[in-house]
Amino acid sequence: QYKNMQFSNSLVQWYLQNKRDLPWRDTVNPYFIWLSEIMLQQTRVAQGLPYFLSFTQAFPTVFDLANAEEEQILKLWQGLGYYSRARNLHETAKYIANELNGIFPNNYSDLLKLKGVGEYTAAAIASFSYNEPVAVLDGNVYRVLSRYFNLDTDISDFKSKKIFQSLVQEVLLKEKPALFNQAIMEFGALQCVPKNPDCQNCIFSSSCGALQHKKVGLLPVKSKKTKVTNKYFNYLVLQDEADQYVVQKREGKGIWENLYEFPLLETAFLMESKEVENQLGTMDFFGQRSREIYVLSESIINHKLSHQHLFIRFYLLRFEAKLPDSKTLTEIMKLPFPIVIHNFLLSDYFNSH
């Protein structure tokens, strides 16, 4: 018990001296805390911070977010990835604004019922906004605990969650839950990092189990590797006589739902660009054939998502007539796109044609 208290108090002392100054730390407003936690799922602080600032500026309250168009939300989210987070965010904002009069649930178990809010996010909001003594458990916390207490329980195993959850709940400073939760996460983010942590200059250099047993690099144990599939995307940039282009909204479940893209020819394997061009030459688009076809970049763009690796090329197809629903580049740039297409729209390849 004494060792646990020492661990927790040392963490908090360390945090007060080393913490980063982040905008969502100066508030107990559950709206801002919820927003930051959803944004920081799967995302590093440095990447999430500008998005947090642009969201809070565009939508200062949960009512503003609830009343926004999904397209505007996705556009602001563009480049952050895992877009279902943004769609859930919008749905939950509408629910809180319309059903709960804009007032967030004030406890862990009711927060858990919100769409897109899991155990970790609910614990974060409950402790930061309402000082409820529930401990957070995220990747950082798993790492700190498994190293400090020298636990080689496989963290990808479902049963291990219970073990870690009860351990972190045990070391939680019940009278300072917000401070403790911030501290242990920050410690994992800044000091007890995944690769090559600076163990010599660590407050736990004499008490850390993994360091004493020379197992720092081996912990936490995580066996399951995500299975990755390869996909081959050929995007067709259809340009009509008015120098306008055709884009489409992605429907259905799957990656990039409700984002825009160029018409897509997906192939089962990687084809030579000449082969793709020949195939496109035989195809009709809106009842006409293109008079000119060429690949816009010989090099393949490899875009990595958590479960898919996309191999992407863009082809320009020019037409002599007006294409239905074609848009100017200015109109197109206002729409939300997957970041890989957005970057292409800004690239020299595209703008030199």
Query: Where do the H-state alpha helices sit in 41-83?
Result: 45-58, 62-67, 70-77
What are the CA-CA distances from residue 309 to residues 88, 230, 232, 253, 337 (Å)? 24, 5, 9, 18, 18
* 297 three-class SS: coil
Distance in angstroms (rounded) separating the CA atoms of residues 239 and 237: 6
Q: Which residue, among 65, 107, 120, has the nearest Cα to 88 in the 3D structure? A: 65
**Cβ 327 vs Cβ 290: under 8 Å:** no
Determine if residue 51 is left, alpha or beta; phi over 0 gives left, psi from -120 to 50 gives alpha, anything else beta. alpha
Catalytic residue among 37, 132, 186, 261: 37
**41 burial type by CB count under 10 A (0-12 exposed, 13-18 middle, 19+ buried):** middle
Q: Which residue, among 115, 78, 1, has the nearest Cα to 260 in the 3D structure? A: 78
Determine if residue 61 is left, alpha or beta; phi over 0 gives left, psi from -120 to 50 gives alpha, anything else beta. beta
Q: Is 37 a catalytic residue?
A: yes
| Catalytic residue annotation | 37
